[in-house]
Chains A and B, each alone.
Chain A
Amino acid sequence: MGTARARAYAAAPMCGIVGIYSKSEAIAERLGAHAADMLAQMADRGPDSAGVAIYRDPVGAGESKLSLHAPDGMGDWSAAVEALDEGLGVERARVLGAHHALLHVRADADAAQAWVAAELRGVGVTSAGRTIEIYKDAVAPCEFVERFGIAAMSASHALGHTRMATESRVTPAGSHPFSTGLDLCLVHNGSLSNHNRLRAELQRGGTTFLTENDSEVAAGYLTARMRAGATLEQALEGCLDDLDGFYTFAVGTADGFAVLRDPIACKPAVMAETDDWVAMASEYRALATLPGAADARVWEPEPGVVYSWGTVSV
């Protein structure tokens, strides 16, 4: 079952999604720990792999952060890092294992991505921007948070995803969050039904896709709309017309966070807010882990309505 076509209808995400956005210093301080707790609660519905986008430590003008992924594993990242340093200038590099590295480079994101595409074979860019870091791995959520030390991180906001995979060879490439724009990421619970044609259209318009995953198409759609001048909110509203299927989306930007459910709204979504944070999850029990959850305002997002916090214009 290894052909691309066979996988074209494969990877509908069955899973859990979480998102948390801090409104206070205290929460930002321990945001990684909160995200980790939420992810752990979503492990039952997504046992096979996990991914998070963490927004923290923004870099300065003319600099960028890249999350790099080597699907077949890099024997030795140091060679790649050296080459990058020569080419662009590396401020800091963090190697997270054979498959992942996080780099802070002295070049803007577009230049950095272009360089990697041209010079580094076997390496994909899973995120680029000022503040975003994306970690993904094909291990159970609890192991995932340990492996990357998520619980120790401070951050302004984070989005996470736990996945119940259909393919046997669960690869991180197929995991969420998907990022197809600077500091932009998307996690998705549900199953789209017209993503194959939409992917082809977006590819004709210049978007590159790394997987056959329907969620990646949604991420690509948002990026394409925003590149053409739409705000994130407008792009999300566009989803209601242009995407077919079932979805709860949570989207992160450099300074913001948005949630959207399709008009039929079969896939779950719960939100909660206090003075210190706003969060969403596929199930309430993930929100229950957060401080002050018992007294939080808890509600379900209405179908077809974009909810957003912070700055969602990109």
Chain B
Amino acid sequence: MSEDHGKPSAGWRAGLRESATFDRATIHEIQRAAREGIYDIRGGGAKRRVPGFDDLLLLGASVSRYPLEGYRERCATDVVLGTRHAKRPLELEIPITIAGMSFGALSAPAKEALGRGASAMGTSTTTGDGGMTPEEREHSETLVYQLLPSRYGMNPDDLRRADAIEVVIGQGAKPGGGGMLLGQKISDRVAEMRDLPPGIDQRSACRHPDWTGPDDLEIKIEELREITDWEKPIFVKIGATRTYYDVALAVKAGADVVVLDGMQGGTAATQEVFIEHVGIPTLAAIPQAVEALVELGMHREVQLVVSGGIRSGADVAKALALGADAVSIGVAALIAIGDNAPELEDEYAKIGSAPGYYDDWHEGRDPAGISTQDPELAARLDPEVGGRRLANYLRTLTLETQTLARACGKSRVQNLEPEDLVALTIEAAAMARVPLAGTSWVPGR
């Protein structure tokens, strides 16, 4: 779009007025649908503006609350996940983990970069809808292994090699949907791991093949514990929809940790309509989850990990203040290791995109070598460099979180609490259940 480069475009003519209902993006999409006869598929999470962390502010120290000195006065960031049942809970140095993203959706060097970066900062990565690669296990000191409806690559040896097991019920981008990987990314290696013919479009299951519902999930979790001799924490991941009920049921089904992914959470590929119109914002989901945990007497006993649009230490601090024990990053991690790099502007242009806009990850043509299986493109990503960049970003997130926490007088980041927050808008106040700034009004309470 040439107007984004500051030059007037062909579209600027006096008297032209865009419709809010049929704006250019909508017109373009209708035209595309008429041409292709199928829904639009892309990666990423919900793009449209929804109430979120930017609508919250932290109340820093004042006369009644005293700050901590940076650097000299400790602000602890460590967290333990999975204390409820497991013999070996996860001990992480920072409350920021890397979310599940598949080998298949991502290239092997990308997975390695994530593992290196996470391990450098004492945190975990998570496998995805393709199973565990040796590179990831090797480079990730702490690895969470996902059990998804597809069960691609699932095997007991990896289960035993994992540090935790994450039963995936859904994700924020598409709660109720299954995985998606198109033929161009089903390389020989991916195909072999997933037991699929190379080059075909993977069709997805949206329900688990051998259980449906939390009553049967309870039995499945029991089986997983039995197979792994009760050593490993069992996480349950849900996309944010009816969060209060889902979290209560996940806890009753036996979850040690609940991972909650809001609608801003990314995916490698799914239908655009799914991403934008199903699920609720992360901000609206967190208080529901915390309420369910508190009512069950399980807050902090069953840990809550929140994902879906975590970008900065401010987001981390606010999520923790709302009651999360930790957060998880997906899209942000990819950007950190090199996704949408401005240096690749010309390459993006060749595939009809631009840095800062590229989300056609399903196409597998990523010039940054991250969301591709093309060996030449993937080779562009140096996993050591990528790992350092991720570590830098994680360190920055952590320092930012600590800065904000200290400013609120906390010696531990998880001591941030909802009372440290106010909202800028009525919607955010209602969703986050914190007062509108300057007032004591929480809409709806």
Residues of A within 8 A of B (CB): 1, 6, 9-10, 12, 14-16, 44-48, 164-166, 168, 189-191, 246, 266-268, 282
Contacts and interface: CB of A to CB of B under 8 A. Distances in A.
Interface residues of B, number: 20
Nearest to A169: B295
Interface string B281-296: 0000000100110011
B86 to A, nearest CB: 19
B212 A14 contact: no
Nearest to A44: B218
Interface of B: 207, 212-216, 218-219, 242, 244-245, 248-249, 252-253, 288, 291-292, 295-296
A166 B244 CA distance: 8
A1 B292 CA distance: 10
Contact of B252 (A6, A10, A47, A189): A47
Contacts of B216: 45, 267-268
User: Counting chain A CB atoms within 10 Å of each CB, which of B213, B219, B242 scores highest?
Assistant: B213
Nearest to B288: A1
B218 A45 contact: yes
Contacts of B212: 246, 266-267
Given A15-B215, A44-B218, A246-B212, A168 B295 contact: yes
B213 A14 contact: yes
A189 B296 CA distance: 23
Contacts of A46: 215
B397 to A, nearest CB: 32
B16 to A, nearest CB: 43
Nearest to B207: A266
User: Counting chain B CB atoms within 10 Å of each CB, which of A45, A48, A191, A266 scores highest?
Assistant: A45
Contacts of B213: 14, 189-191, 246, 266-267
10 contacts: A10-B242, A14-B213, A14-B252, A44-B218, A45-B215, A45-B216, A164-B214, A164-B252, A164-B253, A191-B213
Given A9-B245, A266-B213, 20 more contacts: A1-B288, A10-B242, A10-B245, A14-B249, A14-B252, A15-B215, A16-B215, A44-B219, A45-B219, A48-B252, A164-B215, A164-B252, A168-B292, A189-B213, A189-B215, A191-B213, A246-B212, A246-B213, A267-B212, A267-B213
Contacts of B253: 164
A164 B219 CA distance: 13
User: Counting chain A CB atoms within 10 Å of each CB, which of B212, B215, B218, B245 scores highest?
Assistant: B215
B212 to A, nearest CB: 4
A1 B72 CA distance: 43
A9 B241 CA distance: 11
Contacts of A1: 244, 288, 291
A14 B214 CA distance: 6
Give me the 8 closest cross-chain CB pairs, A-B, nearest first: A168-B295, A45-B215, A266-B212, A166-B245, A14-B215, A14-B214, A164-B252, A166-B248
A164 B249 contact: yes
A282 B219 CA distance: 12
A164 B254 CA distance: 12
A168 B215 contact: no
A257 B214 CA distance: 27
Contacts of A190: 213
A293 to B, nearest CB: 20
A240 B402 CA distance: 57
Nearest to A168: B295
A168 B248 CA distance: 8
A191 B207 CA distance: 14
A14 B215 CA distance: 5
User: Counting chain A CB atoms within 10 Å of each CB, which of B212, B253, B295 scores highest?
Assistant: B212
A166 B215 contact: no
B58 to A, nearest CB: 26
B242 A9 contact: yes
B273 to A, nearest CB: 19
Contacts of B215: 14-16, 45-46, 164, 189, 282
A10 B243 CA distance: 10
Contacts of A168: 248, 292, 295-296
A268 B220 CA distance: 14
B306 to A, nearest CB: 19
A266 to B, nearest CB: 4
Nearest to A9: B242
Nearest to A164: B252
Contacts of B291: 1
A45 B295 CA distance: 20
B200 to A, nearest CB: 26
A166 B249 contact: yes
A86 B214 CA distance: 48
A164 B244 CA distance: 14
Contacts of A266: 207, 212-213
A308 B35 CA distance: 54
A12 B248 CA distance: 12
B213 to A, nearest CB: 6
A48 B207 CA distance: 26
A14 B251 CA distance: 13
Contacts of B249: 14, 164, 166
A45 B245 CA distance: 16
B114 to A, nearest CB: 35
A10 B295 CA distance: 15
A47 B295 CA distance: 16
B215 to A, nearest CB: 4
Contacts of A14: 213-215, 249, 252
A171 B291 CA distance: 18
A189 B212 CA distance: 11
Contacts of A9: 242, 245
A190 B252 CA distance: 16
A47 B254 CA distance: 12
Nearest to A189: B215
A6 B292 CA distance: 14
A9 B280 CA distance: 15
A268 B213 CA distance: 10
A206 to B, nearest CB: 30
Nearest to B208: A266
Contacts of A15: 215
A168 B242 CA distance: 15
Nearest to A190: B213
User: Counting chain B CB atoms within 10 Å of each CB, which of A1, A14, A282 scores highest?
Assistant: A14
Nearest to A16: B215
A127 B319 CA distance: 47
